[in-house]
Amino acid sequence: MQVHLVHSGDHLLPSLNRKLGEYGAQTLKERGLKLVLNQRVKSITANRVYLESGSIIETNTVISTVGNAPHPLVTALGAECAFEMRKGCIVTESTGQVKGQTHLWAMGDCAAFPAVAGGDCPNTAQFAFRQGALVGRNIARTMRQQKPRPIRFKGLGEIASIGHHVAVADILGVQFSGFFAWWLWRSVYLLKLPRFDRKIRVMLDWTLDLFFPRDLNHLSPRFSKSVNESHLESGDRLFHKGEPAFSFYIVKSGALEILDGDEIIQRITAGGYFGEQALLEGGIGSYDARAIEPTDLASVPASIFHQLARGGGSLGHFFQKSAAKYQSQEIVEAIGRKIDPNVAAQPISLFMERKLHTLSPGMMIRETLQVIRDHPRSSYPVVGAGEKLLGLMRREDFYEFLKRPDTRAETPMANMTFTSVPAVSADTTVGDVMKCFIRSGSNKVLVVDGDNRLQGIATVMDLFTAGTGGAGQNKQ
Ligand SMILES: Cc1cc2nc3c(=O)[nH]c(=O)nc-3n(C[C@H](O)[C@H](O)[C@H](O)COP(=O)(O)OP(=O)(O)OC[C@H]3O[C@@H](n4cnc5c(N)ncnc54)[C@H](O)[C@@H]3O)c2cc1C
């Protein structure tokens, strides 16, 4: 086994001085580590590490200890508020006040906080602690109309463990290394631990470590699944408007409603999906989701959804397009205003198509093909006994159904899953039907009577043409 340590600087531990860094490097070399200095890693594959110099290290195990960046929330906040930023951190005065502000404060890892000796304070706990206390006092001083004070803390020094009970230290300008430095390093951590009982437990554990070999454990991690499953009972809310969005959902069975207050935006049945809009547009849900019957869902966590959607290509485009169908109330109203108010106030019964070519679940595939041949349409309403509406059959879904190995010419249509489209009553106004189109993402509505019997069909094209003074025709 070989261990390679790749480091971009010309000596290890750059936050300590060069002598201590070189001591650390020499100790690691004596233990058999191969040091690769002044080099950066360009890429990592399952069995190779590629360096910028072009050299390659063959390996199956890579441990990355590259530094971490400020939280994206801090960077985004800074950009939104037009704060002065440095390396993703909010630049402050030496008092902790955000540069150019008197009542906004930043400290710790999210702040570029000026150091006494020039430059910025390092992002370490000892500085974060002092900055926190200073800012607390400065806020109190500001409230008392007193001048806030600048930071005076210069740092106590640095200690770094290099393993095997050896550390290097630079404390208040005194540099030392070896077992004592390591003991001091551990003691500092022990002192910082909260609660006395915890300090004792950890101290005993560390003391025993000195006399016994390493305590090795074989871990068998259970990796989290990339698709989770959940079940809702009728009336259960999956999420509420304004909540953070965690997943993209696919309905395996049952049905849910997407609601804006009491208004139903969309009804999603088996095979349908939702949640993409909240994930793509800010991560906060704009609607409620409630099961209307016992429902099984598959949910894809946000991180995986983003990998799929942002991977570019057609999948990303598909989700963007699909997210756009959930329009806000303001957008719906703006589109509604384009419709002639006289037309908007009229009932849909005046504009709907009454001559319909319907299918029924009892029909065989052969008969359905005949209807499609004689009356080519993109979709056909499906009605059951007493002309009651069951759903809509899209031609593309029908072709998919034909491809199934068990589909025969005699297979009944009842074996197919029909799409649900919004249904409205004949007296619904054109304006309300337009809103229904926009909010549901559907380009047609089925018109039914009080007993859910099919009366007609209206398409977005017909209504928009009629409503904007085009060549729409009154179909009564
Ligand atoms: C691996 C590692 C080792 C380190 N070793 C040392 C060391 O040996 N010595 C040393 O001095 N420093 C060390 N540091 C640095 C030190 O930990 C940080 O500088 C210090 O913790 C910064 O304090 P902070 O209060 O600014 O941020 P943090 O301690 O990171 O506290 C931020 C808090 O905000 C919370 N938070 C984040 N997002 C949100 C949100 N949206 N809403 C609400 N809360 C939120 C987090 O959960 C966290 O509790 C180390 C850091 C790392 C990562």
* CATH code for the domain in which residue 125 is found: 3.50.50.60
Could you read off the pLDDT of 192-224 as tens digits, one per residue? Answer: 899 999 999 999 999 998 899 888 888 877 776
Please indicate, yes or no, whether residues 446 and 386 belong to a single structural domain of this protein. Answer: yes
DSSP per residue, 2-46: --EEE-SSSSS-TTS-HHHHHHHHHHHHHTTPEEE-S--EEEE-S
The residue among 466 and 276 whose pLDDT is bigger is 276
Whether the full predicted model's pTM is greater than 0.95, yes or no, is no
**Is 292 part of any domain?**
yes
Residues 322 and 335 in one domain: no
CA distances to 80, 126, 263, 330 from 448, rounded to whole Å, are 49, 71, 19, 28
Asked if residue 138 is part of any domain, the answer here is yes
Q: How many Å lie between the centroid of ligand 1 and the Cα of residue 69?
A: 11
Identify whether the C-beta of residue 84 lies closer than 8 Å to the C-beta of residue 74.
Answer: no
Q: Kind of pairing, strands 174-178 and 167-171?
A: antiparallel
Q: How far is the CA of 109 from the centre of ligand 1 (A)?
A: 7
Q: Does residue 237 lie within any of the structural domains?
A: yes
Taking the centre of ligand 1 as the mean of its atom positions, its distance from the CA of residue 206, in whole angstroms, is: 24
Q: Measured from the CB, is residue 125 less than 6 Å from ligand 1? A: yes
Does residue 218 lie within any of the structural domains?
Answer: no
For residue 43, report the phi and psi dihedrals to the nearest 5 degrees: -155, 160
320 has a pLDDT exceeding 70: yes
For the cut 60, the answer to whether the pLDDT of residue 474 exceeds it is no
Measure CA of the first residue to CA of the last residue in the chain; give whole Å.
Answer: 85
- pLDDT, one tens digit per residue, over 35-81 is 999 999 988 888 889 999 999 999 989 999 887 788 889 999 999 99
CA atoms within 13 A on the CB side of 93: 17
Q: Please, which residues have CB within 8 angstroms of residue 200's CB and are 6 or more apart in sequence?
A: none
Contacts of residue 165, Cβ cutoff 8 Å, sequence gap at least 6 = 179, 182, 210
- The DSSP line for 198-252 is HHHHHHHHHHHHHHS----------PPPSSEEEEE-TT-EEE-TTSBP-EEEEEE
Q: How many CB atoms lie within 10 A of CB 99?
A: 16
**Residue 44 shares a structural domain with residue 137:** no
| 171 phi and psi angles, rounded to 5 deg | -110, 120
Judge whether 101 and 78 are in contact, CB under 8 Å.
Answer: no
| Tokens 């025969």 -> residue | 408
143 in contact with ligand 1, CB cutoff 6 A:
no
Looking at the domain assignment, is residue 453 inside a domain? yes
Predicted confidence (pLDDT) at residue 472 exceeds the cutoff of 50? no
Instruction: Report whether residue 73 contacts ligand 1, using a CB cutoff of 6 Å.
Output: yes
Instruction: Check residues 327 and 272 and name the one with the higher pLDDT.
Output: 272
**Residue 475 pLDDT greater than 60, yes or no:** no
Question: Which atom of ligand 1 sits closest to the CA of residue 159?
Answer: 8
For residues 275-301, average pLDDT: 89
Report whether residue 108 contacts ligand 1, using a CB cutoff of 6 Å.
Answer: yes
Surface-to-core class of residue 272, CB atoms within 10 Å of its CB (0-12 exposed, 13-18 middle, 19+ buried): middle
Does residue 65 form part of some domain?
no
The answer to whether the beta carbons of residues 251 and 297 sit under 8 Å apart is yes
Which is more confidently placed, 135 or 344? Answer: 135
Average pLDDT over residues 430-438: 81
Q: What is the pLDDT of residue 234?
A: 87
Confidence of residue 422 (pLDDT cuts 50, 70, 90): confident
Return d(Cα 72, Cα 283) in angstroms, integer.
14
What DSSP state is assigned to residue 463?
H
Query: Which residue has the CA at smallest separation from atom 4 of ligand 1?
Result: 124
Name the domain count of the chain: 5
DSSP SS3 for 445 = strand
Do 289 and 261 have their domain in common? Answer: yes
Per the prediction, the chain carries an average pLDDT of: 88
387 and 456 together in one domain? yes
* For range 341-353, the mean pLDDT: 88
| 292 and 392 together in one domain | no
What separation in angstroms does the CA of 173 have from each of 154, 156, 191? 11, 9, 22
How confident is residue 431, by pLDDT bands cut at 50, 70 and 90? confident
Per-residue pLDDT reduced to its tens digit, 366-421:
999 999 999 988 889 999 988 899 888 988 889 888 988 888 999 999 998 888 78
The CATH number that applies at residue 297 is 2.60.120.10
| pLDDT at position 419 | 81
Contact status, residue 111 vs residue 90, Cβ threshold 8 Å: yes
Task: State the Cα–Cα distance between residues 312 and 306, nearest whole angstrom.
Answer: 10
108 CA distance to ligand 1 middle (Å): 8
Distance separating alpha carbons of residues 412 and 299, to the nearest angstrom: 32
State which of 91, 118, 143 marks the end of a domain: 143
Q: In this structure, how many other beta carbons lie within 10 angstroms of the beta carbon of residue 425?
A: 13
Question: How many A from CA of 123 to the centre of ligand 1?
Answer: 9
Residue 38 Cα to ligand 1 middle (Å): 28
Distance of alpha carbon 459 from alpha carbon 130, whole angstroms: 66
Give the pLDDT confidence of 4-24 residue by residue, as tens digits. Answer: 999 999 999 887 778 889 999
User: What is the percentage of the chain residues whose pLDDT exceeds 70?
Assistant: 94
Q: Hey, which residues does 274 pair with through a beta bridge?
A: 249
- In Å, what is the CA distance from 197 to each residue of 190, 193, 194, 202, 210? 11, 10, 9, 9, 20
Reduce the DSSP state of residue 217 to 3 states and report it. coil
Structure token digits, residue 110:
């999210």
C-alpha to C-alpha distance for 41 and 64, rounded to whole angstroms: 10
On the CB side of 71, CA atoms within 13 Å amount to: 7
196 and 235, same domain (yes or no): no
Segment 102-125 shows an average pLDDT of: 93
108, 109, 114, 119 alpha-carbon torsion, rounded to 10°: 150
Among 143, 175, 195, which residue terminates a domain? 143
Q: Is residue 223 part of a domain?
A: no
| Whole-Å CA distances, 392 to 71, 270, 339, 357, 379 | 48, 14, 27, 11, 7
Whole domain around residue 167: which residue ranges?
A: 157-210
Grade residue 116 by pLDDT with cuts at 50, 70 and 90.
very high
Contact 126, 156 (CB under 8 A): yes
- Same domain? For 458 and 399 the reply is yes
With respect to residue 63, please indicate whether it lies within any of the assigned structural domains.
Answer: no
Which pLDDT tens digit goes with each residue over 219-262? 877 776 778 888 888 888 999 989 999 999 999 999 999 888 87
Is 126 near ligand 1, meaning CB less than 6 Å away? Answer: yes
CA atoms within a 13 Å half-sphere pointing along the CA-CB vector of 124: 13
Residue 159 and residue 180: Cα distance in Å, rounded?
11
Contact 43, 150 (CB under 8 A): no
Tell me whether residue 419 is exposed, middle or buried, using C-beta atoms within 10 angstroms of its C-beta: 0 to 12, 13 to 18, 19 or more.
Answer: middle
Q: Are both 237 and 263 inside the same structural domain?
A: yes
pLDDT value, residue 463: 74
Same domain, 169 and 297: no
- For residues 367 and 434, membership in a common domain is answered with yes
109 lines ligand 1 (CB under 6 A): yes
